[in-house]
Copies of this chain bind each other. A is one copy, B any other.
Amino acid sequence: MTVRRPAESDRQVIHEALTRCGAFTDEEIRVAIEMFDAGLAGDYSLLVVETDGAVRAYACFGKASLTQRSWYLYWIFVDPSVQRTGLGQVLERSVEDSVRQMGGERLVLETSGRPDYERSRRFYERAGFTVHGRIPDFYNAGDDCIIYCKRLEAT
């Protein structure tokens, strides 16, 4: 398993994996790829995880503007074929290490409160994130935004 920064050549694999996965709307995939491209251009930080020569997961994160040491974890995607293998945890910890190295002290993320996002929320809670807010119907009627934060301890 290798965690590394992505190259332009990883874009197509990620686009296909997001589409094949079936969990995302066209708009979500469009925004994810826009942010991936902005990451390649240097506007965000990106990490990908490769196993057996194939990219299986990636994360997109970036410093929150007007803050001293807060970072947003915008997106963490793990190919369904390798979910429940611990690969997501490795990626999440790599994001933390990377943010810490850049002087970050906290990660903030927003995710859906929908029942089909329960596994994602559990994933973040097991990783040490706690809920700091909830905006009712934010994404859509009945689809709240849950705001999570994790304080990164110095290692």
Contact = CB atoms under 8 A, between A and B. Distances in A.
Interface of A: 27-28, 31, 64-70, 105-106, 108, 132-141, 147, 149, 151
A85 B59 CA distance: 47
A64 B135 CA distance: 13
A66 B27 contact: yes
A1 to B, nearest CB: 30
Contacts of A151: 137
A71 to B, nearest CB: 11
Contact of A67 (B65, B67, B136, B140): B140
9 contacts: A31-B65, A67-B140, A68-B139, A68-B141, A132-B135, A132-B136, A133-B133, A133-B134, A138-B149
A133 to B, nearest CB: 2
A143 to B, nearest CB: 8
Contacts of A105: 137
A48 to B, nearest CB: 22
A138 B64 contact: yes
A108 B133 contact: no
B132 A149 contact: no
